[in-house]
Structure 1
């Protein structure tokens, strides 16, 4: 008790948490999916707060462009090309060795999501694409585990706590998986990351200790434009396939069916979900690299060295790699899954 009070004294002196709340945190198990900007910030808060088990999964590795906003990484991680989950685990274990911290270098899929959620009290969104978010949403609601959503791009961010059998789910507010903007095409500023991560972490602490002051809104913030907007999450959308009909569409089928390795070409094909305008994407991707456009396709050399070829039907080729996980990461980064 003396050691616990010494480490968490300022947090325990906060009356809504106290000794009982701290004890509850130490018995809690949390899964964070995605260890980019949001994931690292949330993990940092929860590890320092003394959540008993903090697990996180990420498929990517640390790059120089991450350091502007992904707080657990440094130039040495970039030089070593460390997986984000490994780099984050190493940093966090230096902060708190009294809890269980586990970083998993994996792509979260239909095949492994149920195993990842076994025994977990709360799942937190640190991802960068809606395909994975809907997978987390559906899996969490099926297993009746609360899901904290968070997303940032530019100077805007959104967050909400969704609780099975008590609130609506993510699908009630966001219907389409495709996104026209990503951090790698329109940028992102670090302060909005900190803001949304703080909302996610605070709701996590409140939920885990059983506090009654849970926020019941989906909040949207634009720090640059000084705007805030909230929507109540009490009422689900009629016929929602997840929280109302129990169909959980993201759990059906194999999401990797949209990904094909082109034998002998050092290329991965990814099928898009809708048609695209090559004119629009040319103007967006010109900020990233040199673009070549014909009436039939658009080609851009990415900063990472690979080449992306985009077709009007939404199909894309990631050339220069035969690694499916890396191809999916680059596609999500520049096009959005």
Structure 2
């Protein structure tokens, strides 16, 4: 331990005692895209004992510009993001236990993901999942470190049940239709900056240095050379999460078909497990090309449209964000 973490332990706020605390800690990273890969890299290299990573997607070429754990071979192999990340992180620090979950995070699945977890790190790219994380964490009393990045701008805040407002207090659900990186782009440095601020706050919390916790919403524009902090203040008295304890995101039924923002992708919820080998044979006569691995089956249908099937029963229809068109494709090849 002393050799691997020697420079980190020389940092007085961590020291040997703090390092032992890190090794006994557990974190859950939801979303293994741009933010998530930086977060996972920092947590594993710092020696956090247990790291759970959750993501529903697989590696594509457009990810490589900013999602730092992935490479061209991951694209060719069609690896799910968490699997590609796990393979690399295991080579970085074999002492850390890494739990990789290829799955969608919903009101029905989030509970078990947070069991025995000390801290949740936000690597998501959409408000729907972020509200779900917020509500689940505040219901269970688990701190939640928010982060978001788009264009050259980013934000971050540390949200602690009983000590700070929750995410809904400063971003009401009605204000959640903002710009995304799929709409206006994003540069990699702002992702690194935001995720690194999140990682620093995670280390503070895990070693128990609560007095050093940042109590503000941090806003950065890396291209415009601006940094702004806004005090979190008191919770909203009418907040349905941290004050009224209603946790609306946990009461919402998941949509059968969900358009993923800016991705030209529609996700269909699981209707039961899928035998990928059997589906490979069924789709072979109609597919221009097929890619099968242990984690997914991808079928190229022509005209830029694809089907991606997962063992848990989820199906992605890619090449359109029109729900009607996606359902036609789903019903034609998978069945209603």
The normalised TM-score by structure 1 is 0.78
1:52 paired to 2:53: no
| Distance of aligned partners of 1:268 and 1:189 in 2 relative to their CA distance in 1, 3 Å threshold | closer
> Partner residue of 1:23?
20
> Partner residue of 2:130?
133
CA contact (8 A) 2:147 2:156 kept: yes
> Partner residue of 2:320?
307
> Partner residue of 1:155?
152
Between the aligned partners of 2:321 and 2:233, the Cα distance in structure 1 is: 42
Alignment of 1:313-328 (within 5 A): 317-318=325-326, 322=330
| Distance of aligned partners of 1:321 and 1:306 in 2 relative to their CA distance in 1, 3 Å threshold | farther
1:197 paired to 2:195: yes
Alignment of 1:1-337 (within 5 A): 4-176=1-173, 178-211=176-209, 212-256=211-255, 259=258, 306-309=319-322, 317-318=325-326, 322=330
Aligned residues: 280
- State the Cα deviation string for residues 136-178 of structure 1 (Å, max 9, x = none): 0000000000000001110010100100000000000111364
Between the aligned partners of 1:33 and 1:268, the Cα distance in structure 2 is: 18
Question: What SS does the corresponding residue of 2:196 show, helix, strand or coil?
Answer: helix
| Distance of aligned partners of 1:234 and 1:20 in 2 relative to their CA distance in 1, 3 Å threshold | farther
- State the Cα deviation string for residues 51-103 of structure 1 (Å, max 9, x = none): 00001100000011101000000000001111001000001000000110111
CA contact (8 A) 1:157 1:222 kept: yes
| Distance of aligned partners of 1:318 and 1:115 in 2 relative to their CA distance in 1, 3 Å threshold | same
Q: Displacement of 1:40 after TM fit?
A: 0.3
Between the aligned partners of 1:258 and 1:65, the Cα distance in structure 2 is: 24
Between the aligned partners of 2:171 and 2:305, the Cα distance in structure 1 is: 31
Between the aligned partners of 2:48 and 2:268, the Cα distance in structure 1 is: 41
Between the aligned partners of 2:148 and 2:325, the Cα distance in structure 1 is: 26
| Distance of aligned partners of 1:43 and 1:320 in 2 relative to their CA distance in 1, 3 Å threshold | farther
CA contact (8 A) 1:38 1:126 kept: yes
Between the aligned partners of 1:128 and 1:239, the Cα distance in structure 2 is: 26
User: Where in structure 1 are there 5+ consecutive unaligned residues?
Assistant: 261-266, 271-300, 310-314, 324-337
CA contact (8 A) 1:302 1:308 kept: no
> Partner residue of 1:330?
none
Q: Displacement of 1:303 after TM fit?
A: 8.9
Q: Displacement of 1:5 after TM fit?
A: 0.4
- State the Cα deviation string for residues 203-230 of structure 1 (Å, max 9, x = none): 0000011112000011111111112222
Question: What SS does the corresponding residue of 1:12 show, helix, strand or coil?
Answer: helix
CA contact (8 A) 2:26 2:119 kept: yes
Q: Displacement of 1:256 after TM fit?
A: 2.4
CA contact (8 A) 1:128 1:151 kept: yes
